[in-house]
Chains A and B, each alone.
Chain A
């Protein structure tokens, strides 16, 4: 997902009886479906976990601009170029909403940005994969935005008010992205033999990385259990992955493309598809910074930040001068 393997307190979930009255009131409010707002009391662990999660989500939107940005200058029609540019611009907007939501928890965007650039904070593993042909713009919209929606739709009901509200705005745009991606995929899959080949190749390369987006099984994870009790995680990773496969497999059929998994087949009994797990060793390698584009992505972000320093400084200096001049005139 856009936030993967977010660590929580690492302690087990405590029962209401084990909590002091303040924390108990907090938990009861969440259990009743209430929202927590920035000025409300909250346990330290809740605040820290949320900062990690929202921050990682925001960074994913920002780094996520790069693989698609890679094709903006090569988009094949004026309309496709406008749609792709608008999409990548939306992702920057998502980053902005999410940084704002995180800032209500007492961190600054600058600090989070520095932690991204130094590699201390993570972003989703998926954005460490390269986009090699135009069909990848289809695959990313269809699969990556599609997988993101799986987890972001339930997050509209998350317990932290500013996060939930950011998700409502984001989800509207994400479903649009997903449809646009599918539309590209359809054109490619029904196009010339070369286009069809690109479409199948894109699906081959993005299928397992998309499954990895949900993270490894967290049935046993204490971190996930705590996050779920706090309603900042709404479903288990396996649950969401299953839902994603169940939705996507028929779409691949419709496109006439083959999902690269010979074990993929409908299981009547469970009412869902059976499918192969992705290579989790590869996933952990990517998280460690050994994804195919990990170095390039961070290099890119660092370069933009470093080369933009004089601009940010100048804008601040100009604003200061204007303020001083206004004061002097008063």
Chain B
């Protein structure tokens, strides 16, 4: 059974993943390679923002300090963010964006499956609702990785580069500490994750890097990348500049 402090920490991990990745996806708005992709990227972003409201809303409730989801999203600084390093990686090109999405989705879907039916009713309910959305995200990002990996020489090269570049951020998703274990240990999900991505990468004619090196420090908040601060500077500008305003 998780303590309230552990629960709060864990809910921020889930909420911050959705918040930071949702924000990254929203950065594409109006700039995608085709109109249909623009609409699809916005859909993913919208789902993630919705999930953020649920996870951080529950976190604020557990905390019981009078904050709400917006206060958590807009008034914390880098060291209090608990998202994975993977999701704060910048969009770079469309290939990086979709590879990042694919790797995260493959973890996310297994995580939500494991959380469905969790003894904490609200966690179970959020997981169940999110799972519907994330099942679709995972299908879509896998299809895109396959199409772009297999497509042309140029697209293949770009997708392999994206995979190589993002691979060191995969391991952190499966590291677990007391906080994780108190709610849901991600370590056992690795097997299903591997099976899922191996199949997709094979179809995409991409080579899985053999290094197991993993950057860490995102979900513990110990050491984020430099990218997160810039994102927060933009995202939090208004509530920070006009702290008394209602929007």
Instruction: Give the interface of A toward B (CB within 8 A).
Output: 62, 65-66, 69, 72-82, 85-86, 88-89, 92-93, 95-96, 99, 134, 184, 187, 191-192, 194-195, 300, 303-305, 307-319, 321
Contacts and interface: CB of A to CB of B under 8 A. Distances in A.
B57 to A, nearest CB: 9
Nearest to B45: A85
B236 to A, nearest CB: 9
A74 B234 contact: yes
Interface in B200-238: 234-235, 237-238
Contacts of A184: 247
Given A308-B33, A310-B154, A317-B152, A92 B42 contact: yes
Given A95-B35, A96-B35, A313 B151 contact: yes
B125 to A, nearest CB: 19
A211 to B, nearest CB: 26
Contacts of A92: 30, 35, 38-39, 42
Contact of A73 (B70, B93, B234, B245): B234
A88 B36 CA distance: 13
A69 B151 contact: no
Given A82-B46, A191-B245, A315-B151, 17 more contacts: A72-B27, A73-B27, A73-B235, A77-B70, A81-B26, A82-B49, A89-B38, A92-B42, A96-B36, A304-B32, A308-B37, A308-B94, A309-B33, A310-B152, A310-B155, A311-B95, A318-B147
A318 B26 contact: no
Contact of A195 (B27, B147, B151, B245): B245
Given A85-B29, A96-B39, A300-B31, A187 B246 contact: yes
Contacts of B158: 310
A85 B42 contact: yes
A313 B36 CA distance: 15
Q: Top 8 nearest A-B pairs by Cβ distance?
A: A308-B33, A314-B151, A314-B155, A65-B30, A76-B238, A89-B42, A311-B33, A69-B30
8 contacts: A74-B235, A74-B237, A89-B38, A187-B246, A305-B33, A308-B37, A310-B155, A318-B148
A323 B235 CA distance: 44
A79 B150 CA distance: 38
B73 interface: yes
A72 B45 CA distance: 11
Given A74-B238, A89-B42, A191-B246, A304 B52 contact: no
B1 interface: no
Contacts of B235: 73-74
Contacts of B95: 311
B191 interface: no
Given A311-B34, A314-B154, A192 B39 contact: no
A195 to B, nearest CB: 6
Interface in B171-195: none
A71 B194 CA distance: 38
Interface in B100-157: 146-148, 150-152, 154-155
Given A73-B234, A82-B46, A312 B34 contact: yes
B141 to A, nearest CB: 14
Most buried by A among B19, B30, B32, B36: B30
